[in-house]
Amino acid sequence: MKRYEKFADDIAELIRSGVLGPGQRVPSVRYASQTHGVSPSTVFQAYYLLERRGLIRARPRSGYFVNAHAPRQFNEPQVIEQASESTDVDVSELVFSILDSIKDPQTVAFGSAFPSPSLFPLPRLARSLASASREMDPRMVVTDLSPGNPQLRRQIALRYMVGGLMLPMEELLITNGALEALNLCLQAVTEPGDLVAIEAPAFYACLQVLERLKLKAVEIPVHPSEGIDLGVLAQTLERHPVKACWCMTNFQNPVGASMPDEKKKQLVELLRQHQVPLIEDDVYAELYYAQQAPKPAKAFDTDGLVMHCGSFSKSLAPGYRIGWVAAGRYAQKIERLKLMTSLCASMPAQAAIADYLQHGGYDRHLRKLRYALEEQQSAMLAAIARHFPAQTRVSHPDGGYFLWLELPEQMDSLKLFQMALAQGISIAPGPIFSATQRFRNCIRLNYGSPWTEQSEKAMETLGRIVRSF
């Protein structure tokens, strides 16, 4: 254990034991350095770690304080140790029934896949949309067909560059949200009947895409903090004719796992050895709680095998449906598929987001958004600690807005879904995240809405239902 981790654990124990209570100031960096005989940088690293765990919070010019919602330290969900056999995918009816449940505005939408619209700068975006629409050159109707608005692609390329990844604009294609990008990537590298390696659990939209394209899935287990199991993936690549791998490397939906950089590098190298393309679904990349953005697996790609898919839907403009793909060696093929299906994404929406990225204060908005999401995560973790059985296992992601809960073995999350919905609460039951409909005692909860008294009461009700099983 590194020195800063040991120091962080010592402070965490003081918080758990109640020596440091909610809202209380923790020792200053200077005082902690002097009294514990560690360097200031060690103290800073420890406090950054405690921030990521949701235990403390920095206040500008005031120091560090114990979070008002400092969560209990839960055990992580368990990991399925082996891959599934290849299987056809048939989950859409189950998924559609869940999606219908979140349309009622009176329902507490813990089952939603979206953060609250109130967290986004929609009025400022509307001004960008109005301005961009007035100034739009009519010739853009032709010139901005796929690959998309050049100003927007330039802004996206600049964000990659700031993150240390130099990408040519020719590799970037604007799409109707990330989901279209992911669809196009799969179509570019597979034929009906082909086998695709996916995560277990996996985002249900991934399963629906495979179902629509008549592809087979082989499920690779996901570790709750480190992502996809590379050992199992390596065995699968040796045994099966896998044509593509679909993976969420940062804040994986539904578990919340993020792969360490070294593991991302190993993933890319493993797939390169087998010449299997990686479809990297990275829509939550901007929603990190640490000091620095996580790298994508694309950062380690030297052969153009990684197709990196992103979106503004989760970080800025959910209704504008603007996503993109950095498509590597497949750029031309994907652009042609795009032209054959939907021609281009909405031109006014592309121009509006380009204007906002240039003038609207995107990074300032993101800092506020990340702060809000981390606060809401802490509130939900604290509510789980108060209301759910002690044996509940919970993920603790460093970004995004989902928690993955493993409930007692006797739990049937599909029944829980129905009982909770009758009380005006939606959840996402585990079986919708698996081609083989596993994870029956698991649920995903969304903490992407501001925490209210209604949220707390809903968690209390949900915990009471869980305890009744």
**Phi-psi bin for 366: left (phi > 0), alpha (psi -120 to 50), beta?**
alpha
Query: What pLDDT digit, counting tens, does each position of 69-88 carry?
Result: 655 567 788 877 666 666 77
Give, for 445, the enclosing helix (H) or strand (E): strand 442-446
CA–CA gap between residue 78 and residue 445 (Å, rounded): 17
Query: What pLDDT digit, counting tens, does each position of 373-388 carry?
Result: 988 998 898 899 889 9
Tell me what the mean pLDDT of segment 151-159 comes to. 96
**In this structure, what are the phi and psi dihedrals at residue 449, rounded to the nearest 5 degrees?**
-115, 150
Q: Which residues, including other chains, have CB under 8 Å from residue 257's CB and lie 6 or more apart? A: 222, 223, 224, 225, 226, 227, 251, 395, 397
Query: What pLDDT digit, counting tens, does each position of 306-365 carry?
Result: 999 999 999 999 999 999 999 999 999 999 999 999 999 999 999 999 999 999 899 999
Tell me what the mean pLDDT of segment 162-171 comes to. 93
Span(s) in the chain for CATH 1.10.10.10: 3-66
Tell me what the mean pLDDT of segment 133-142 comes to. 79
Tell me what the mean pLDDT of segment 140-153 comes to. 86
Tell me what the mean pLDDT of segment 123-150 comes to. 86
CB-hemisphere CA count at 13 Å for 236?
29
Tell me what the mean pLDDT of segment 409-420 comes to. 93
- pLDDT for 289 equals 87
Span(s) in the chain for CATH 3.90.1150.10: 92-118+367-468
- CA 369-22-407 angle, 5° bins: 70
> Is the distance from CB of 286 to CB of 400 less than 8 angstroms?
no
**pLDDT band at residue 123 using 50, 70 and 90 as cut-offs:** very high
- CA 194-200-205 angle, 5° bins: 65
Give the end-to-end CA distance of the chain in Å, rounded to a whole number. 40
Using a cut of 0.75, tell me whether the model's pTM lies above it.
yes
DSSP 71: P
Burial class (CB in 10 A: 0-12, 13-18, 19+), 71: buried
Beta strands in 300-434 (DSSP E): 306-311, 322-326, 393-394, 402-406, 425-426, 428-429
CA–CA gap between residue 312 and residue 125 (Å, rounded): 12
- pLDDT for 1 equals 64
CATH class of 120-362: alpha beta
Residue 370 has pLDDT above 80, yes or no: yes
CA–CA gap between residue 301 and residue 295 (Å, rounded): 12
Span(s) in the chain for CATH 3.40.640.10: 120-362
- pLDDT for 247 equals 97
Give, for 246, the enclosing helix (H) or strand (E): strand 242-247
Domain 92-118+367-468 listed as CATH 3.40.50.300: no
CATH number at 3-66: 1.10.10.10
Query: What pLDDT digit, counting tens, does each position of 193-243 carry?
Result: 999 999 999 999 999 999 999 999 999 999 998 999 999 999 999 999 999
